Amino acid sequence: MDLSPTDLDSVVVLTPRVFGDNRGSFFESYNAATLAALGIDTRFVQDNQSHSAEAGTVRGLHFQSPPHAQAKLVRVLAGEIFDVAVDIRRGSPTYGQWTGATLSAENRAQLLVPAGFLHGFVTRVPDCVVAYKCSDVYAPDCEGAVRFDDSDLGIDWGIAARDAVLSDKDAKAPSFADLDTPFTYEARP
């Protein structure tokens, strides 16, 4: 597994080594020992999967607050997405900044989004299937969201906001300015 840092502390792109032959290919999508050797010791307890029928579907920006804050390890089983993480750790030198990565079934890349970050993605093609591991269980009373097209964040989703396919909940998400983040930045030694 290869690890590539992003512009945000702790958000990394993981790319597995793929082994191919005349039958096709094989790769490990997750191995706790391999990740631990890379300095990632997140314990995942739940796997989620979504299917988005239309290109331009936006899911996010979401987070779960403590005591059920979630780190996520996101990958694409079919199609292609642009996956985004936004730092919402109060006191962080990158608070309010975002990073994004193209994840696809073809490139097999994964994005690790730690707790303390908003997460969302936009589908680039129809019929995208996205799978992600979570470090805590879904807890509706702990969920939060920020509007995906908030001008304070300035995320370049690659689509016009008017063309985004959104859930009712995401369409009504509050602004970034209204976020009372439950996360605090802790510098690593």
In this prediction, residue 27 has a pLDDT band, given cuts at 50, 70 and 90, of very high
- Of 188, 74, 70, 57, which Cα lies nearest the Cα of 140? 70
- pLDDT > 70 in the chain, percent: 99
Kindly list the distances between the CA atom of residue 115 and the CA atoms of 3, 54, 101, in Å, as whole numbers in the listed order: 18, 28, 18
Across 135-163, average pLDDT: 97
pLDDT per residue as tens digits for the range 41-97:
999 999 999 999 999 999 999 999 999 999 999 999 999 999 999 999 999 999 999
- Annotated active-site positions, please? 62, 132
DSSP for the chain, written as a single string: -EEEE-SSTT-EEEE---EEETTEEE--S--HHHHHHTT--PPP-EEEEEEE-STTBEEEEEEE-TTS---EEEEEEESEEEEEEEE-EET-TTTT-EEEEEEETTT--EEEE-TTEEEEEEESSSSEEEEEEESS---GGGEEE--TT-TTT----SS-GGG-B--HHHHTPPPGGG----EE-----
- The reported pLDDT for the residue numbered 187 is 83
Residue 51: which residues within 8 A CB-CB, separation 6 or more? 127, 128, 129
Residue 112 has what pLDDT?
98
- As given in the structure block, the two tokens for residue 109 are 């890349």
Q: What is the pLDDT of residue 64?
A: 98
| 114-145 pLDDT tens trace | 999 999 999 999 999 999 999 999 999 999 99
pLDDT in tens, 31-50: 999 999 999 999 999 999 99
Domain edges within the chain: 44-184
Q: Which CATH architecture has domain 44-184?
A: Sandwich (2.60)
Residue 2, pLDDT score: 94
* pLDDT score recorded for residue 40: 95
The answer on pLDDT for 188 being more than 90 is: no
> By the 8 A CB rule, do 136 and 70 touch?
yes
pLDDT at 4: 96
